[in-house]
A = this chain, B = another copy of it.
Amino acid sequence: MAGNTGTAGRSVTSRALSLLAAFDEDHRRLALTVLAERAGMPLPTAHRLVSDLVEFGALTRTPSGDYVVGRRLWDIGLLAPVQSGLREVASPHLQDLYGVTRATVHLAVRDGARALYVDRLRGHASLPIVSTVGSRLPLHATGVGKVLLAHAPAAVQEEVFRELPRLTPFTITAPGSLRRQLTLVLRDGFATTAEELGLGACSVAVPVVQRDQVVAALGVVVPSLTRDRPRLVAALQVAAQGISRSLARVPAVVGEAAENSAPPALADGG
């Protein structure tokens, strides 16, 4: 295992947390043995801590004996102010966009050198979609990613360009190519991908702006772009401008993916 959260944190708390951190998108259910190993601690220790976590509801044991993240943690996690202002404001516009395009719609922000998907609407005839809410995908191989990358600080771009992993035969791995594309993204106001992340999936994306800063990207995924790219771009731009306009009235969605101070505006009733 690549040195993940392991190293068995010193404090009890950090150990318990490293058990939670052992779960990820590719490991949604874990047997105790695996869990202990991934968290980097002896089995009896894991066993004891896991009992506590289960009792609390942070983990749940399936009938088959595996552990999964529990509903209690789901509850609490939803309270996190992760782009809640942005999500709240954008939600209706995503709906509209879906209504017009009937394509899978994505809203993403940049989280370091990755695109963090904060909302998603999925269409009926959906392609094999990789992303779900909470996913982090590479910036260089997704539509929303290219938009976010084009508007990212030089340091981030540099980091991304250092390694451009090939995900399909069509993934752009030549720095020059990508660099040229980013220039076009800035000029034209939209980015596209063609089977660069997964076969059979193309995408278009546009920036979402707040106070002259790109705070998010809005994108759609479709089987092919040859036919109606202009139409999709138009629809996306209308939706993105709608979101941007609403964002102008909201305090602080900005601060990239970093912890935006919870906007009191939409937070609670008062």
Which chain A residues have a beta carbon within 8 Å of chain B's beta carbons? Answer: 11-14, 16-17, 20-21, 23-26, 28-29, 49, 51-56, 58, 60-64, 68-82, 88, 91-92, 95, 98-99, 121-124, 126, 132-134, 257, 259-262, 265-268, 270
Contact = CB atoms under 8 A, between A and B. Distances in A.
Contact of A13 (B16, B60, B91): B16
A63 B13 contact: no
A17 B98 CA distance: 39
A82 B56 CA distance: 16
27 contacts: A11-B52, A12-B12, A12-B13, A14-B52, A14-B55, A14-B56, A25-B79, A25-B268, A26-B268, A28-B79, A28-B81, A28-B262, A28-B268, A55-B266, A60-B80, A61-B265, A62-B261, A63-B261, A64-B261, A68-B79, A69-B80, A69-B81, A70-B259, A74-B77, A92-B123, A95-B99, A95-B122
Number of copies: 2
Contacts of A60: 80, 259
Contacts of A21: 56, 72, 76
A12 to B, nearest CB: 4
Contacts of A133: 78
B13 A122 contact: no
B262 A29 contact: yes
A76 B13 contact: no
Contact of A53 (B17, B257, B261): B17
Given A12-B13, A92-B123, A62 B259 contact: yes
Contact of A24 (B54, B79, B132): B79
Which interface residue of A26, A71, A121, A261 has the most chain B CB atoms within 10 A?
A71
Contacts of A70: 80, 259
Contacts of A53: 13, 17
A13 B54 CA distance: 11
Given A62-B261, A63-B261, A266-B54, A78 B68 contact: no
Given A99-B99, A262-B29, A68 B91 contact: no
A80 B76 contact: no
A123 to B, nearest CB: 6
Which interface residue of A21, A68, A121, A133 has the most chain B CB atoms within 10 A?
A68
B91 A80 contact: no
